[in-house]
Each structure stands twice: as structure tokens, then as C-alpha cells.
Structure 1
Amino acid sequence: MDKIKVLIDNKQKEVKIPTGLRLLIRRTCNAVLKMENFQGPAEVSVSFVDDKQIRELNAKFRNKDIETDVLSFPLGENGQYETNPETGAKMLGDVIISMERAVFQAERYGHTIQREVAFLTAHSVLHLLGYDHENGGIEAVKMREKEEAVLIMLGLPRNGSYVFTDDNR
């Protein structure tokens, strides 16, 4: 597999970034691209933001005035990507993660912040590659299976359910 450059920028101060999280994000991006047999060098940009920042981005770009956990901004379509003229790498796009939301969801689902951020990264990189779950159905199922396969590759298998009972609401 070719070289993957992952640019990571912390634009928030609400959550201390755990040691090793940046490496985990790089490993997650590599795992997704390997699983998808992506050819050629690639670049992905990942930014950590807070809830206020992600809400503003969600309102501006998706007309949804609400916080969300992750946003994806692909720079390509149908497997065609802009190329960085300096490196020749395909620029896949931007991943924006709300660290506040990631902490909340990790607690809610009963797993680590590392697993949550790896899940959000895998989810978002799949979006950069053209996957979409917005309409539900088989596409959403395929995407969830791929996300879980990447987490298993990283040694972060699911340890519980995403279905809530009355006890954990």
C-alpha cells in the first residue's frame, strides 16, 4: 500500500487529547484505505473541534443547526480526487470530529474514547471514499459492517450494543 499522509489539527480546548490518539487516527485511516484496496498515495485532514464549532459547520454546510459527532468533506467524487501537486497524493478530504461529542458517546455506549474516535474516523473516511448511509437500507448496513471490520483490525471490537434499554437511557 502506498503512503498515507494524515494531517491532524486540534482546534478545541474542551477535551485533552489522550496520548496515542493521533497515531490511532493514522492507523484507522490506513486500515480503511487498505480494506478498500485504495491505490496510490493519499492525504486526509483530521480536525478536532468542540460542539459549538461543529454545530456552526453543520449549520453552514448541511443546513442542520445542531451538534453532530463527525463531519466529512470529500474532495473527490466517483473515485476521482484532486492531486497535491507537490506530492502527487490524492487529497481525499477533511474529517471534523467533535471531541466533546466523542467523549459523551464513548460514555453512553460504554467504551473508550479511543474506540469512539477510531469509529468516527473510519466512518468519516468511508464517506470520503463515497459511502453513504443517509438513506438507510443496505448501504447503511454495508457501511456499518466496514466500520466494525476496521475496528476489529485495530483490536477495538465492539463490547456491547448500540441498542438502548430503559436502563441506559
Structure 2
Amino acid sequence: MKIIIQNQQDKYQIDESISKIIEDSVLNTLKIFMDDENYEISVMIVDNQFIKELNKHYRSIDKETDVLSFPIFEFKNGELQEDIAIVEEEIPLGDIVISIEKAYEQAKEFGHSVEREIAYLTVHSVLHLLGFDHIEEEDRMLMRKYEEMVLEGMGLTR
């Protein structure tokens, strides 16, 4: 498993503990759905302005958001929907962009730790890479079930 974490902002320090939370969140989410560890995910840490620009460019929504997911392959609820060639290198699943600024804001708003918020955003985004969505209520409930399962397993409850 290859998890690439890039800090593209300077408002908050991203120390080893934040990186570890992101890595653990990715690994604990993927192990529910993946049989092996031959995957790669890129995580970019940005500020609100940067994610706002991405949100406007890719989703035509001109406001900041907490996290964006850019999947490479088509999944549906954790199941790959297309054939991919088996290679010796890691298979890239996609990119995650987290606004650390928004994570701090939401942690304060929801009354829990920044660590829990970052873990939640990471798990949420990995689930999007795996084809989960929350547009329909049934899908939202399924996604929430997996989010809570991973967070509880990490000891990060509300």
C-alpha cells in the first residue's frame, strides 16, 4: 500500500500524528473491501481557498468544501465495475483533497477533535473512491455505517 501525503498549505502544521491518522484511516477503510494491499492513494492537504478553486473547476460550485475525491476507476459500493490489468506496482485508486482549514472549523463546530474530523474526512473520501455516495438516503445510510465502523475501530467516536 502506498499512501502519498502532500501538504500544500501553510496555515496549519501537518505533523507525524496527522499523517498517521490519514494513513490509518485509508488502510482501515480499504481493508474492508480489498483483498490485497497493492494500491496507491494520494492525499493532498490544502486550505479553503485552494479547495474552493478545485470545487469550482471540477464541480461548478463556487464555495469551499471539506473534502474532494477523484477516483480513477469505477467502483459501486466497494466493488470494482471494470477490469484492470494486474501489475506489479501499486494500482492508483485516486486522489483525495482535504481542506485542513475546514477540518479545524468543523471539529470546533461539531465539538470533537481535529484528529477525528481528519479521520472522518479521509474515510468519507476513500469510500467515495470506492464508489459510495450519499445522494439517496439508503446510500447515505450505508456510507455512514462504514464510516462509523472504521472510526470506531480506530477509537475515534463522537
Given the two structures, how large is their TM-score scaled by the length of structure 2? 0.90
SS in 2 for 1:15: coil
Structure 1 residue 136, shift from structure 2 partner: 2.8
Q: Which whole-Å CA distance do the structure 2 matches of 1:106 and 1:97 have between them?
A: 14
1:142 matched residue in structure 2 = 142
1:21 corresponds in structure 2 to 18
Specify the code of the residue in structure 2 equivalent to 1:132: D
CA displacement, residues 45-100 of structure 1 (integer Å, 9 cap, x when unaligned): 00000000000000000000010000000011131486796x52221000000011
Q: 1:16 deviation in Å?
A: 1.7
Q: Which runs of 4+ in 1 moved over 3 A?
A: 37-40, 80-85
Q: Which residue of 1 aligns with 2:27?
A: 30
Amino acid at match of 1:113: V
Q: Deviations over 1:104-147 (max 9, x none)?
A: 000011111110000000000000011011x2310001101110
Question: For residue 116 of structure 2, what is the aligned residue in structure 1?
Answer: 115
Partner of 1:98: 99
Distance 2:72 2:83 in 1: 6
Task: Output the amino acid matched with 1:123.
Answer: H
- Between the aligned residues of both structures, percent identity stands at 41
Specify every segment of 5 or more residues in structure 2 that has no aligned partner in the other structure, as ranges.
none
Determine the C-alpha separation between the residues in 1 that align with 2:84 and 2:50. 26
For 2:2, the equivalent position in structure 1 comes to 5
Gaps of 5+ in 1: 159-169
Letter aligned with residue 45 of structure 1? S
Normalised to the residue count of structure 1, the TM-score between the two structures is 0.85
Q: State the match for 1:77 in structure 2.
A: 74
Deviation at 1:24? 1.2
Q: Which residue of 2 aligns with 1:129?
A: 130
- CA distances 1:12-47 after superposition (whole Å, capped 9, x unpaired): 011122441101111111100112244451000000
C-alpha change, 1:56 and 1:82, in structure 2 (3 Å) is farther
Which residue in the other structure is 2:151 paired with? 151
